[in-house]
């Protein structure tokens, strides 16, 4: 099963053009939608989750038309929104049982089995009796996944799930997603480059409502090989560098500034060749140095 997004646009009533002719093909596995805040990620996620209509375009999940067959889509879809509330005074087990009932699992014994399996899968079994109000950020996110997985969705959408998690919780959460990605389409939206580099076999970079690059992370990094250079210097040297070079990013390292530069040829003294990482891919795409601003038409095929 594959998710096909074709020519989706959306302008909000206040005039903000949140999506501009977005097309994407999302195969089974983990797909990362990477972009800065305000890029249009949540808008696109809500559309795929049938919660908002685009101005134009189409979305297809396997045989289903997402924009027209909303009820069918909702049965096969799990959605973890960026923010969701839990009832703080009930336990994870009680609330999950309640949601399972709402999902239509009427028989008590069947429900108990589903709830137990999901609590075990999300590593919450030991804390199932605790009230949700006492859960940490990571536990809440995993509870959100348990809810989203009710009904065995073929498509799981997670919107910015790792923001605010501490490093250990984040790793645990990403491992959970990657297990789910073995059997379903998982669409992860994030502004954190590492989420994508650690997890996703495919990705797209979105900015200001447009897809800048659609790629496999490993291949995209490989394609940059030989074009990324780094220079360690004092902070005061940076302004002189910027007009002459395509500076992708700067970081502090032990009190020194490390600048990474995109260049087809060696940029001169003081620079050394660097192994490209996904952050280089991200900033190169954001700077318009790689990728596409708009989807290119297929080249004409002559028989």
Residues within the interface to ligand ADP (CB under 6 A): 12, 14, 16, 18, 35, 37-43
User: In terms of CB distance, is 124 or 205 closer to ligand ADP?
Assistant: 205
Beta carbon of residue 216, minimum distance to ligand ADP (angstroms, whole number):
22
Strands (E), the chain: 3-11, 17-26, 29-34, 56-61, 64-65, 77-80, 155-159, 185-190, 202-207, 210-215, 228-233, 246-253, 256-262, 272-273
- Those residues whose C-beta lies under 8 Å from the C-beta of residue 157, and which sit 6 or more positions away, are 45, 48, 49, 77, 78, 79, 80, 148, 187, 189
Cβ 154 to ligand ADP, closest distance in Å? 23
Q: How far is the CB of 42 from ligand ADP (least distance, A)?
A: 3
Report the nearest approach of ligand ADP to the CB of residue 33 (Å).
9
- Cα 166–167–170 angle (5° rounding)? 85
State how far the Cα of 291 lies from the Cα of 71, in Å rounded to an integer.
36
Q: In angstroms, give the least distance from the CB of 215 to ligand ADP.
A: 19
CB-nearer residue toward ligand ADP: 76 or 190: 190
Secondary structure (DSSP) of 96-148:
HHHHHHHTT---HHHHHHHHHHHHHHTT-GGGTTSBGGG--HHHHHHHHHHHH
Return the number of the residue (42 or 122) whose C-beta is nearest ligand ADP: 42
For 147, the token pair is 């809810």
Closest to 20 in 3D by CA, of 69, 57, 75: 57
Comparing CB distances to ligand ADP, the nearer of 43 and 50 is: 43
Q: How far is the CB of 8 from ligand ADP (least distance, A)?
A: 12
Q: Cα(52)–Cα(88) distance, rounded to whole angstroms?
A: 28
Q: 97 or 159, CB closer to ligand ADP?
A: 159
């Amino acid at each position: 099963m594959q998710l096909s997004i074709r020519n989706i646009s959306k302008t909000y009533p206040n005039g903000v053009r949140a999506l501009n002719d977005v097309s994407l093909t999302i195969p089974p596995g983990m797909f990362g939608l990477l972009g800065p805040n305000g890029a249009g990620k949540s808008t696109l996620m809500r559309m795929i989750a049938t919660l908002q209509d685009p101005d134009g375009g189409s979305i297809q999940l396997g045989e289903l038309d997402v924009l027209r067959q909303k009820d069918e889509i909702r049965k096969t879809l799990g959605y973890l929104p960026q923010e969701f509330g839990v009832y703080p005074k009930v336990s994870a087990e009680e609330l999950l049982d309640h949601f399972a009932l709402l999902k239509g699992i009427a028989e008590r014994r069947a429900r108990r089995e589903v709830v137990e399996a999901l609590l075990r899968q999300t590593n919450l079994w030991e804390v199932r009796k605790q009230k949700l109000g006492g859960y940490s950020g990571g536990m809440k996110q995993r509870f959100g996944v348990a809810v989203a997985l009710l009904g065995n969705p073929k498509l799981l959408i997670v919107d910015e799930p790792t923001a605010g998690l501490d490093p250990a919780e984040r790793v645990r959460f990403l491992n959970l997603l990657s297990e789910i990605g073995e059997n379903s389409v998982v669409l992860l939206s994030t502004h954190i480059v590492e989420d994508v580099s650690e997890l996703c076999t495919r990705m797209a970079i979105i900015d200001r409502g447009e897809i800048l690059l659609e790629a496999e992370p490993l291949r995209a990094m490989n394609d940059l090989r030989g074009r990324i250079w780094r220079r360690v210097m004092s902070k005061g040297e940076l302004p002189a560098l910027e007009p002459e070079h395509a500076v992708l990013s700067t970081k502090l390292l032990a009190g020194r500034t490390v600048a990474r530069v995109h260049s087809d040829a060696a940029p001169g003294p003081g620079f050394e060749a660097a192994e490209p990482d996904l952050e280089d891919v991200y900033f190169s795409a954001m700077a318009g140095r790689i990728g596409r601003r708009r989807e290119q038409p297929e080249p004409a095929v002559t028989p």
